[in-house]
A and B are shown apart, each in its own frame.
Chain A
Amino acid sequence: MRSGLTFGPALGLALLALVAGASVVRAEEVETCPVPASMLSTESRLSKVADAVNDGRALDILVIGSRSSSIGGSQDGAYPARLQAALKDKLPQLAVNISVELQPKQTAEETVSGFVKLLETKKPTLVIWQTGTVDAMRSVDPDDFHAAVDQGVTALQNAGADVILMNLQYSPRTETMISGSPYMDNIRAVAQEHDVPLFDRFSIMRQWNEQGDFDLFSAVHGPELARRVHDCIGRALSNFIFDAAHLGPAQQN
């Protein structure tokens, strides 16, 4: 439906571009990957992040995720690094530290078993937990998955951290092979139960694919597309954190 509706504005934009030919050049230089405001707003609040920013304390963020939180296993240019850059732009007066805990090929249950140890060494203000992909690929019982995510979020909250849950990537090529929806439903359910913001990576990426920002069907071999997508995810995530922590434009200066 959306892809149909965007045709009108796209046509209008094309006409505008014809009129103001000079501005087109600039538009091509900057990565444009708009996300509808509704996908970046949440009812749940990141109060610890808000406190840290308002008190001018350092913002320690821990990203826990599987391989899709990296680019082919490397952190170079992946969304956590891009998030850090975006937050530093927005909050130049604050120290923003991001550490990444990659748990490739680990299900939610296996990841959660390491949480206690992980949080002993780190005391993050905010934990971004990307999960579900490995469970979907192994088709773990959705009830067990729900229990594991529930337990994990409880552990993170008990350790005094704000939590953001992040779901699967939109991966059209593997759609006939991986059934993500039961896992995404359960992530959404746990987010609601714990009043925790959910960063809907899947819907956002699908939106980009439909709008033509990225061709996620593409069979390119190089890391270029992955870098651009991760850059956009990092920036969208920074906006999402700002919304959830109720940080207005005032803090941005």
Chain B
Amino acid sequence: MASVADQVSGISVPAAADAPARAPAAAVASSSITLPAVGERELRLDLFRGLALWLIFIDHLPTSLLTWLTLRNYGFSDATEIFIFISGYTAAFVYGRALLEQGFVVSAARILRRAWQIYVAHVFLFTIFLAEISYVATHFENPLYSEEMGIMDFLKQPDVTIVQALLLRFRPVNMDVLPLYIVLMLALPLILVSMRWRADLTLALSVLLYAATWEFDLYFSSYPSGVWMFNPLAWQLLFVFGAWCALGGARRMSRILSSNITLWVSIVYLIFAFFVTLTWYVPQLGHVLPRRLEQWMYPIDKTDLDVLRFAHFLALAAITVRFLPNDWPGLKSPWLKPLMLCGQHSLEIFCLGVFLAFAGHFILAEVAGGAALHALISLCGIVIMSSVAWLISWYKHSADKSARKGARGNADLAGGG
């Protein structure tokens, strides 16, 4: 399982060795996109993707002390926005290069292989979920929750449910991000080809699709009823925007990003969002907000990526890019290493996080834990995620080493690689 971020980093040695030779060729291929040189690693991407993974894990656990540290309590957007944006950025970075160097067919095949990996990961997580829910259904019968237990009625017809799950139409709570990611990856070959042709036009089309989604209420239906929790037709905007930034958009925006007007607009908006969020937790403040504003603003829709959420993400990103330069020495600090490692193996760590959240729920339910156990579970989860990320890095590093010694064929023979 080659992770996207690893390929960005150029840890894989043969690719890095090839790069200088190929770079001129890429530059010659005339196109409207530009790629930064290989080796110019965006450590900030790893850092923030790692952070997003930690926050998603904590948000998936029941509310606790640590939940108050997560982003969604301080504004409109949350870790999902960061995750999807960075995924778009890194995917475009890696496969955009593949498109320029290897052509459409090969790059599309690589993208589809990646989408397949994500799909398999999703099905694996669904199996675990099924095990958990079956256990609860057989062991738990509290009259207080006789209504809520009705959710397990789907166990009565597993044939339909499991097929619907394989079609990504039946999805348990907290398992909505990977299906979104799969759909976005399936669209990526098209997005990249379009970007190579006219990057700005592609972004404009993406905005248009987003607007059409809102105007005509487009959605993906799910089973047994309802819609996808994250509407891919709306969330593609973040993904395409990430891709656009990776393929030279960020560079072209640098003047806007460094302007003081952008800075102040962002700061004012973040403070506004913080204040609005505060009124959710401190109801006494509720009357300070004008009712007109409330009526216009609510509900802040997560399914269709509300404009307020998107704007909040943009403001956060603008401020981050400005005050955290890529050459900030702190990025190499060992203290941030666990976050970086998690960010570099995002798919594996994301799945692990979903699994750990299931397990955490389960332990809390069985042991009837208090706040202390709760905090302990959260911390253990983060430690496990970081350790596994480190283990994957170590394994890949040593696998690469042996590959250099000429043992490369083995993995292919075994059907891996």
Q: Are A188 and B148 in contact (CB under 8 A)?
A: no
Which B161-194 residues sit within 8 Å CB-CB of chain A?
A: 172-174
Partner of A174, one of B64, B149, B219, B358: B149
B159, chain A: closest CB distance, angstroms: 19
- What is the CA–CA distance of A7 and B144 in the complex, to the nearest angstrom? 27
Task: Given A186-B299, A193-B295, decide whether A174 and B151 contact each other with a Cβ distance below 8 A.
Answer: yes
**B65 touches A (CB below 8 Å):** yes
Residues in A with CB closer than 8 Å to B229 are: 139, 179
Interface flags for A192-232 (1: CB within 8 Å of B; 0: not) read 11000000000000100010100111111111011001100
- Return the contact of A185 from the options B141, B222, B299 (Cβ within 8 A): B299
Are B365 and A138 neighbours in the complex by a CB distance under 8 Å?
Answer: no
Contacts of B311 in A (CB 8 A): none
The closest CB in chain B to the CB of A65 belongs to B147
Shortest Cβ gap from B379 to chain A (Å): 14
Interface residues of B in 326-342 (CB under 8 A from A): none
Interface residue A86 (Cβ < 8 Å from any Cβ of B): no
Residues of B within 8 A of A223 (CB): 143
Q: Check A67 for interface membership: any CB of B closer than 8 A.
A: yes
Q: Which residues of A contact B172 (CB under 8 A)?
A: 176-177
Q: Say whether A12 faces chain B, with CB atoms less than 8 Å apart.
A: no
Segment with Cβ contacts to A, from B105-113, B286-294, B406-414: B286-294
The CA of A210 and the CA of B364, in the complex, are separated in Å by: 12
Is B370's CB under 8 angstroms from A220's CB? no
Number of chain B residues whose Cβ lies closer than 8 Å to a Cβ of chain A: 56
Binary contact track A40-67/B, C-beta < 8 Å → 1, others 0:
0101000000000000000000000011
Shortest C-beta distance, B232 to chain A (Å), equals 15
CB-CB under 8 A for A182 and B62, given A172-B365, A219-B139, A221-B142: no
Q: Is B416 an interface residue (CB 8 A)?
A: no
Closest to A142 in B: B303
Does A31 sit within 8 A of B, measured CB to CB?
no
Binds A, one of B84-92, B128-136, B246-254, B313-321: B128-136
**Quick check: B286 and A43 within 8 Å, CB to CB?**
yes
* B194-243 contacts to A (CB < 8 Å): 217, 219, 222, 224-227, 229
On chain B, the residues within 8 Å of A174 by CB distance are 136, 145, 148-149, 151
From A178, A217, A226, B151 is in contact (CB under 8 Å) with A178
Contact call B226/A140, Cβ cutoff below 8 A: yes
**B142 near A210: Cβ-Cβ < 8 Å:** no
**Chain B hits for A193, CB < 8 A:** 295, 298
Contact B146 A67 (CB under 8 A): yes
User: Is the pair A38, B294 in contact by a Cβ cutoff of 8 Å?
Assistant: no
Chain A residues whose C-beta falls within 8 Å of the C-beta of B371 in the assembled complex: 3-4, 7, 210
A171 on the B face (CB < 8 A):
yes
A229 with B144: in contact, given A139-B227, A176-B361, A178-B173 (CB under 8 Å)?
yes
B302: Cβ under 8 A from any A Cβ: yes
With beta carbons under 8 angstroms apart, the residue of A3, A68, A225, A230 that contacts B147 is A68
Q: Using an 8 Å CB-CB cutoff, how does the interface string of A76-103 with B read, 1 for contact, 0 for none?
A: 0000000000000000000000000000
Q: Are A226 and B173 in contact (CB under 8 A)?
A: no
Task: State in angstroms the CA–CA spacing of A131 and B370 once bound together.
Answer: 30
- Residues on B with C-beta less than 8 A from A173 are 136, 140, 142, 145, 148, 365
14 contacts between A and B (CB under 8 A): A67-B150, A72-B146, A139-B227, A146-B299, A176-B129, A176-B172, A177-B152, A177-B173, A178-B151, A189-B298, A218-B368, A219-B140, A219-B141, A229-B144
Smallest CB-CB A-B distances: 5 pairs:
A139-B226, A67-B147, A226-B144, A3-B371, A189-B298
What is the interface of chain A, defined by CB distance below 8 A to chain B? 1, 3-4, 7, 38-39, 41, 43, 66-68, 71-73, 104-105, 133-134, 137-143, 146, 169, 171-179, 182, 185-186, 188-189, 192-193, 206, 210, 212, 215-223, 225-226, 229-230
